[in-house]
Each structure stands twice: as C-alpha cells, then as structure tokens.
Amino acid sequence: MSATATTPIAHAVPPEAGPRAFLRRLRSGDEVAHVLTLIFAAGILLITSLLVYELWANSHLSRAKFGWMFLWTRTWDPIFDNFGAAPFIYGTLVTSVVSLVIAVPLGLAAAIFLAELAPRRLSDALAFLIDLLAAVPSVIYGLLGIFILVPLMRTTLGPALKGALGFLPFFSGPNYGVGFLTAGIVLAIMIVPFIISVSREVLLTVPREQREAALALGATRWESTWQVVVPWARSGIMGSVFLALARALGETMAVTMVIGNDPRISASLFAPGYTIAAVIANEFTEATGDLYLSALIELGLVLFLLTFILNGLARLLIAATERGGGRPA
C-alpha cells in the first residue's frame, strides 16, 4: 500500500493551521486509527452514562411518588401500589454481612497459606484451582444450594446451631432451611475466591525484608505474618473485602434460589427474607403497573449506587497498596 511511502512525507511537512492540515494528517492513517479507537473507548463512557441515565429516568414515577421514604418504608404491596425498599435493603445487607463473617477469615487464612507458606508451585496450582471456583456460574451454586444446603440446614446444621447458640436472637425462631443464613453461606462460598486471589497478590507484594527483619528479631513465622506482613498489606486486603462485598450485594441467582423470597425484616437468621437483586429477578417480568416497574427499577438504582461506591473504594485501596503505600500507620 502507498501509505508507507506517504507517511514520512506527511511528517516532513511543517505544521499548518486549518482544515487542510487536518485532512493531510487524516490521510496518513494515524489520526484515523486514533480517532476510531477513541470513539470505541468513549463508547464505554457512553454506555456507562446511559446505564445511569436509564436507571434514573425509568425510576422517575417511583421517585416522584415516594421520595426518600422509599428507602425506609417497610411495605411492599403491588396490589395497592405501595412500595418500600426497606425489607430488601435489610436482606441484602444481612446476607452480605453473614457472607463476609464467614468468607473473610477463611479467605484471609487461605491467602496467607498461599502467599507465605506454600512453595511457589503449589501456591500457583492452588490459586489456579481457586480461580476456577470463581468461574462456576452462580445458577449452579443456587442449584447446589437448593438440593444440598437447604436440606442440610433444615435437618442438621440449623438444629445444631440452635442448640448451641439458641439464646441469641439471631439463632431463634423456626427454621425452614431457606433464609438469610443459607443465602449467606452460599454467598460466602461464591466470594471467597475473590478475597483469596486479590489478598494473595497483595501479600506477595510485601517486601521480603519485612519478613526477614521480623524473623531476625526472634518472631515466629506466624508472628511475622500476623504482626508485620498482614498489617503492611492491610489496605489491599480491605480492598479485596470491599470487592467481595460488592459482589455479594449484587449476586442474584444463587441468593434468589435459597433465601425464601419473603419481604420481611426479622432478627432471626433462620427466617426467610428477600434481597434487592432477588426481588428484581422474581418480579420484573410480572410487574403489571408502571409504578410497580418503576419501583423495581429504583431498587436497581439503589443496588447500582451501593456497588458503585464500594467498587470505587476497593479499586483505590488496592491501587494504593500495590504502589507500596500500604505502610502500617
């Protein structure tokens, strides 16, 4: 093609003002490629802004009618067109917190093992398997949840917990097998791979000297890990937890299948509940009135904002640690 021949000439011409110069630069091809790829990159911005706009615009009816009260109202009554998000926000937060309580210690421990103890090859192999675990589709977790965890919770796990901790309000009340706790356990299994793989990478960036200095001072392996390495990587680990939390908040299918889908606020973790994502999944296609649909879309907006903020924070924290700023304060 002639482009190769013309390019050096195009560059040799002194810069001129006006459309003619721009045309010449266009002909050289570089500018075309630049503009073309720029358009696609800007397309991502456009898609994301359009996403926010659509959520905002389509929830107009509900926002106009309920205002901020939408967030605090506890009724969800499609028949009388009375909608409040409180039970769903409660369910989303409770299941996420339960999942973090299980997944953070488990994930951090596994990440410590992979980063600090396991030989590099074993660590890589295990990390590889854990990444595969993250690839399992959520509907399959839901399927396993329905047919394994729910019966287990009803017959064994639930009664055992009740026997041991029944005096706490969280573990009292009837146990149906489905509910906040079951959903939290399924979520924990789903988010643990994210905590492990991000935390492992952050731990691996901690300088060797830090560990050696601690060991030289007579610390045991565990003391050096827990008192020196982990604090150093603290903000990155926090980032991984936020990332996992954002996943847990937005997770839909697995939760929908095991939480019981009942818009109620109960202190007991055995009680059935509902989450934002689950109610959207269940009722969106059946939403008959415009206001009903609008309320569901506003729930989507709430969920979007929650995960948006968490993701933003997580990215900043991880970036800060990997740049080496995660020094213990």
Partner 1 sequence: MRLRLVWRKALNAVMLTLTGVAALAVVGVLFFILGYLLYHGGKSLNWDFFTKLPKPVGETGGGMANAIVGSLKLLLLAALMGLPVGLMAGVYLAEFGGTTFAFVIRYTTDLLNGVPSIVIGIFAYSLAVLPVRHFSTLAGGVALGIMVIPVTVRSTEEFLRAVPVSLREGAMALGASKWRTIATVVLPAASGGIMTGMLLSLARVAGETAPLLFTAFSNRFWSPGWGQPIASLPVMIYTYAIAPYDDWHRQAWAAALVLLALVLVANLGCRLVLNRRGAMRSV
* 7 touches partner 1 (CB under 8 A): yes
CA distance 319 to 202: 10
> To the nearest whole angstrom, how small is the minimum distance from the Cβ of residue 308 to partner 1?
6
User: Which pair of structure tokens corresponds to residue 207?
Assistant: 């300088």
Binding positions for partner 1, 199-218, rule CB under 8 A? 201
Q: Please name which of 208, 155, 193, 202 lies closest in space to residue 177, comparing C-alpha atoms.
A: 155
DSSP H helices, the chain, are 3-12, 19-27, 30-58, 60-66, 69-72, 86-112, 120-135, 138-144, 150-152, 158-165, 180-204, 208-216, 221-224, 230-232, 234-250, 253-258, 276-283, 290-320
Q: Name the segment binding partner 1 (CB under 8 A); options: 63-71, 175-183, 232-240, 295-303.
A: 295-303
> To the nearest whole angstrom, how small is the minimum distance from the Cβ of residue 295 to partner 1?
12
Binding positions for partner 1, 237-266, rule CB under 8 A? 243, 246-247, 249-253, 257
Among 280, 291, 295, 317, binds partner 1 (CB under 8 A): 280
Residue type, 11: H
Q: Name the segment binding partner 1 (CB under 8 A); options: 12-20, 93-101, 208-216, 279-287.
A: 279-287
Among 94, 178, 186, 189, binds partner 1 (CB under 8 A): 189
* 60 touches partner 1 (CB under 8 A): no
* 8 touches partner 1 (CB under 8 A): yes
* 151 touches partner 1 (CB under 8 A): no
Among 187, 206, 291, 297, binds partner 1 (CB under 8 A): 297
> To the nearest whole angstrom, how small is the minimum distance from the Cβ of residue 95 to partner 1?
14
List 76's β-bridge partners, or say none. 83
* 56 touches partner 1 (CB under 8 A): no
Q: With H, G, I as helix, E, B as strand and everything else as coil, classify residue 71.
A: helix
CA angle, 83 as apex, 81 and 86 as ends, to 5°?
165
Binding positions for partner 1, 63-102, rule CB under 8 A? none
> To the nearest whole angstrom, how small is the minimum distance from the Cβ of residue 186 to partner 1?
11
* 220 touches partner 1 (CB under 8 A): yes
Q: Is 196 exposed, middle or buried (0-12, 13-18, 19+ CB in 10 A)?
A: buried
Binding mask 18-47 for partner 1 (x = CB under 8 A): ----------xxx-xxx-xxxxxxxxxx-x
* DSSP code, position 14: P
Binding mask 300-329 for partner 1 (x = CB under 8 A): x--xx--xx-xxx--x--------------
User: Which pair of structure tokens corresponds to residue 57?
Assistant: 């615009």
| Distance set, CA 257 to CA 94, 178, 203, 253, 276 (Å) | 16, 9, 35, 6, 13
